[in-house]
Structures are given as C-alpha cells and as structure tokens.
Amino acid sequence: MVADTPAAGERRLDDVMLAMDVVDTLRHREHLVERELHAGDRDEKLRERLREIYTSQGIEVPDRVLDAGVAALREERFVYKPPVDGFAVKLAHLYIERGKWTKRISVLFAAILASWASFTVFITGPAERDLQEQVSELNRGISSASERIDTLANEAARLAAELPDATQGVPPFLKKAARSRVATAEQSLKQAQVLVESARGLSQPADLESETFTERSASATPHLQQQQEQIERLQQEVKTAQRALEEIAALRRLPDELASVRDAVLAAAQEEEGRVEAEQLYTSGLSALRAGDVAQAGSAVTELKSLHTWLEQTYTLRIISRPGEQSGVWRIPEANPNARNYYIIVEAVAPNGEVAPQRVTSEEDGKTERVSSWGLRVDEAVFNRVRADKQDDGIIQNRRFGTKRRGYLSPEYDFETSGDAIIRW
C-alpha cells in the first residue's frame, strides 16, 4: 500500500471539512432537507440543490464530497449525541463545574472554620479556662487550709510550752493579774487543740482535675468551707492565747519601764512643772497595771517618753518672713464680733538650722496637731510693731520670737504673748 503523500493528506482533510460544511448547510436549510428527502430521487436532487448553493457562493464542491455530506446527514455522523446519564457522566459534570463547587465548598469550609474558631475563642476557650481556674482555685484552697492548720497548730504548741514559766519575773503585786491571763491562755489553747483535730478530720487531697471536677467539687467545696470555718475559730483561739501571754510579758516589763522613763524625765527637768507631770504619769501607769489595764499602762510609758523628748529639745522660735507667706493674721472671735484677736506666725528652728515640727493645740477647736508653723496670740501693739518692721523694707529685722531651752517645757518669749495658738488661717 502506497503511503499518502502530503498533498493527498491535505485533499482528504479538505474533503472532510467540505463534507462537514455540507452537513451544516443542510442542517441550516431544514425546509430544503425536508422537501428534498421526501422526494423519490431525493439524493440526486439534494446534490443538485447543494451544488447550486455552493456555485452561487463561488465554491466548487466535488460530487464525492456532496455524496459524503448527504450520507453523513442521513447517518447523523456530525450530530452531537449527549452521552447516556450515569455515574461517569455525573463525575464528568462535577469535574467540568469544579470551579463553581470548589468555590462554594471553600466558602463553606471557611465559614465552618470561622465558626469553630469563634466558638473556641469566645465560648469553649473561656469556659475551659474558667473551669481550669476553678479547679486550681479549689486545689489551692485545700492546700492552703492544710498549711494554715499546721501553722496554727505549731504556734499553739509553742504557746503551750511557754505557759508554765509565764509568770516568772512578774512583780508580786501583779501576780494575780498574770495568773488570770495564764488561765485565759490555757482555756484558749485547749479549745485550739480540739479545733485542730476537727479541722484536720476535714482534710482532703488537693488533686482535683477538670474531667471529674463537677462530680468531686460537689462534696469537696462544702468540706473546705466547713474546714475554713474551723480554721477561723482556731485562729481566734490562738490569738487570744498570744494576747494573754503578751500581756503577762507587759506586766513583767512595764513596772521597770515606767520607773526608768520617769527617772530620766526627772533628771532632765529643770523646772517643777516637768517633774510634777512625770510623777503624775508614773502614778497613773502603776494604777493601770494594778487594775490589769495593760494598754493604759503602756500609754503612760509612751507619754513619759514624749515628755522626756520634749524636755531634751532645744529650738528658736522664728517669725515667718518669706515671700508669699504671712507673718501675722488677725481674727474676729465668734464670741465677741466687736473684738479682734492678733497672731504672729512662727516656726521652730533646731540648732542645725532645720525646721522642727511641733505638736500645737489650737485655741479655736482644741485639736492638737503636729505642724511646721503656727500662730501665737499677741496684743495689737506687738502685732503692729512686727507689721511696721516688715513694711519698712519688706524684711523683719528682729525675727526671733523666743527660745526653748533644754529641761524646760515651754519656750521663753521675747514678745508678750498668752501662748495660745492657732494652726490654720
């Protein structure tokens, strides 16, 4: 068999193309096809009609091509016939339309993913964290309760060990008050021991987990609350015992402390007023001790120490003379609207040049406060003299108002003053 030459191949291709065109022409001329195909010599007439159509268009079509076209039309060779619907066809359709359904699936997947993320972030996540926090908190509470019981039990044991020798060194006249406090401590420590055993009986392991938290917490939480109530009562009993032993120690210490501070005040006092005040405070402290009032006796010691500090202090009273600050003020008293009370503003300056705040009692409301400056009441003549000194050149030449010497309670004033004061103006 002789192989087709390129020219022959091209003619065969042209023939096929023409045959296809013939079929297409026939299909677009349905009225012609229907009429010619029903005729007796339909094939010949159809070929003639087709030849006329192509000739009118300037196309010369060989008979063999016309015959092939008519035959192809009859056999529906170039007519598209859809495949029979089936699984393979459905898969093919899905593949062809993959662009549509993949986008839809992607959108749906993204929506599901976003919903899952939102649910996790805003609902599941917080809920899980909250549950875990509840688990941790309850476990911490259980552990903390056990630790507090141990700590309080150890403290109660320490206090019980101190009780037998607690009254040693207490002066004879205070033994009764000391023994009373020993009895109080013993009673509290006995009750504390009962509470320790009761609280420990409510102990539970701190091993709760998220998976079983709901079930176990139903019983663990009430047990812990009951245990904490026992611990609070235990703590109160231990505090009562501690306070009793501290007061016994104070009964042992305060008599000597009162005497020691009083003696220091008497040694420092250079005037009768200071010595009298020291004796009064000492007597008040002893009376409080005999009555069992340890707090009042402690206050007497504190006041004696303040008195001693006051006596040891030295300073110079100086009139305020700085820009923007008043050197003197006057007031109209509520009791006498027709009168005026005059005050010079002063401050206490220590030997090192620093201002030394003082406790000053106001004559207006009786309140005592620690202040850096205050007003001392003077008569109108002194007030006018100081004012004139300042108005002369803006500077007060003689700023010293008085001095406070060691051993004395009150300053010695260079100006006439009643010593009454105000602390606000």
In tens, the pLDDT along 370-421 reads: 999 999 999 999 999 999 999 888 889 899 999 999 999 999 999 999 999 9
The structure tokens 């003299």 sit at: 385
3-state secondary structure of 401: strand
Distance CA 134, CA 164 (A): 46
CA 347/CA 189 separation, integer angstroms: 54
pLDDT for residue 53: 75
Q: Could you give the residue ranges of the DSSP H alpha helices within 119-200?
A: 125-162, 175-200
Provide block-wise average pLDDT over 10 residues at a time, the chain (425 residues).
48 61 63 52 70 75 74 60 69 70 74 68 68 92 96 97 95 95 97 97 93 90 95 97 97 96 97 96 96 95 96 96 92 89 97 94 93 97 94 88 96 95 94
Do 296 and 304 contact (CB within 8 A), yes or no?
A: no
Give the whole-angstrom CA distance, residue 46 versus residue 24.
14
Q: Which backbone phi and psi does 395 adopt, to 5 degrees?
A: -130, 135
Positive/negative CA dihedral, 97, 102, 105, 111: negative
Prediction pTM value: 0.61
d(CA 328, CA 245): 54
Report pLDDT for 106. Answer: 75
Distance CA 328, CA 320 (A): 8
How far, rounded to the nearest angstrom, does the alpha carbon of residue 320 sit from its chain's CA centroid?
Answer: 47
pLDDT number for residue 120: 57
CA-to-CA dists, residue 389 to 327, 345, 382, angstroms: 11, 14, 11
DSSP 2-14: PPPPHHHHHHHHH
Helix (H) or strand (E) holding 99: helix 98-118
- Domain coordinates in residue numbering, the chain: 6-75, 87-136, 138-204+216-245, 254-312, 315-422
Structure confidence at residue 119 (pLDDT): 57
293-to-184, 250, 286, 296, 303 alpha-carbon distances in Å: 15, 10, 10, 6, 16
Closest to 203 measured CA to CA, from 133, 140, 146, 130: 146
